[in-house]
Amino acid sequence: MVAFSTLALALSAATGIFAAPAADPSADAPDFEFTSENRLTRRQDYNQNYKTSGSVNFSPSSNGYSVSFSGAGDFVVGKGWTTGTTRKITFDGSTTASAGTVLVSVYGWTTNPLIEYYVQEYTSNGAGSAQGQKVGTVTCDGSVYDIWKHQQVNQPSIQGTSTFWQYISNRQTKRPGSGTVTTSCHFDAWKALGLNLGTHNYQTLSTEGWGNAGGNSKYTVSGS
């Protein structure tokens, strides 16, 4: 299996949540939404686009992305937010895999501690990144997930070559298409098992593939 942390060579977050005081919402500014903290936040402001080899045709949009791929050695593409949080992420679309291993996950990083995390919704082979040690299960949004932790030693990360942990919630039955991920449900379950996150970096819905992966994905993404 390709080390998952290689996908971290995608652009790291450069900006955070806009902290300007909220004014009256305007229909003329569809690229912004008002959060529960009453801040103005750019909606889906982060495009994740990384590949090592093969054909990967990634097309981001204002509220999602599409990608077709063949012979892909390792890639990850997606749409999300420059700064992750405990948002509820809703996605609508589908993935078809014809070769290799293909995942669709809510994906992100934290720092202090440096953590790479996955909530895997679709895994073409039923296992995805389920490596390392299984430490528990959790039911979120009506679905059961196995919880894994795995240490990456001297691997690429958003802070350069580092040793860090991966936290993984792997849905026991792959989701055929649309769905919702309440990230706080997973984060709380991880914390109860001693798997603590740090300060959030970017957070996306992403399609990943390796092992001469072939197929396609298309999704719209929103968060609240």
Would you please indicate which residues are annotated as catalytic (active-site) residues?
116, 208
* Separation of alpha carbons 120 and 107, rounded Å: 8
Copy the structure tokens of residue 45.
């402001």
* Residue bearing tokens 């569809």: 30
Q: Minimal CA–CA distance to 78: which of 92, 90, 61?
A: 61
- The enclosing H or E element of 35 equals none
CA-to-CA distance for 90 and 138, rounded, in angstroms?
19
**HSE on the CB side for 139, CA within 13 Å?**
1
- How many beta carbons lie within 10 A of that of residue 142, not counting itself? 7
